[in-house]
Amino acid sequence: MKKGITPEEAAAMISDGAVLMIGGFMGVGSPHRTIDAIVARGVRNLTIIANDTARPNYAIGKLIRAGAVSRAIVSHIGLNPETQKGMIDGAIQVELTPQGTLAEQIRAGGYGLGGVLTKTALGTIAAKGKKVIDIDGEEWLFAPPLRADFALIASDRCDHNGNVSYQLTAMNFNPVMAMAGETVICEPREILPVGTIPPDSVNTPGVLVNYIIRRGNHQ
């Protein structure tokens, strides 16, 4: 049985300068209660690896507004003008990566692979400063694997052993991030008895999950 903790206890584990992977797609499938607790704790100088920074003061956007983020590795910031302003002002170092490449970098980190070779972004401004590898006279852009100190994921359901099931767009980044975090904290919508989630519906097995955010005193 996995240890159930409060959002505040999860936030207490995260120190200044930590690298966080945060699941979600425009805030859908993000661990909102955990994010709120991190903001309340006042953590600073975080590196965030995520699909995006959501919207102003929503999901990861709350961390942006609070000044908690110094670096963001994301696929886009188009929905959050506060992230854009931080990038222009130099307050936030933003590394924009094509969405598919970002997902593959996270997967590579979780699977123990040496990186990703891709044609995407080759010859564009997004490839500036990146390593280009020649294979049989053909150029490939090298994208290194990504890992994090913590993977903060959100799910629809989770049992007491940490077996996780997602819904819809929450599948986009949460499962691969659960593979690539040194410590994985899952914030589920509901926590169920072991055996309630059919094995075929388990998207992240409990062996990968370290902590579960409790829903209430009875759980």
pLDDT digits (tens, 9 = 90+) for 126-163: 888 889 999 999 999 999 999 999 999 999 999 999 99
Report pLDDT for 131.
94
The Cα diameter of the chain in Å comes to: 62
> By percentage, how much of the chain surpasses pLDDT 90?
89
Report pLDDT for 216.
66
pTM of the model: 0.94
Positions of the chain with pLDDT lower than 50, given as ranges: 218-219
Report pLDDT for 87.
97
Going along the chain from its start, the domains and CATH numbers come out as 3-100+146-213 (3.40.1080.10)
Report pLDDT for 218.
42
Report pLDDT for 85.
97
Report pLDDT for 172.
87
Report pLDDT for 217.
52
Report pLDDT for 219.
42
Task: Copy the structure tokens of residue 162.
Answer: 């940490």
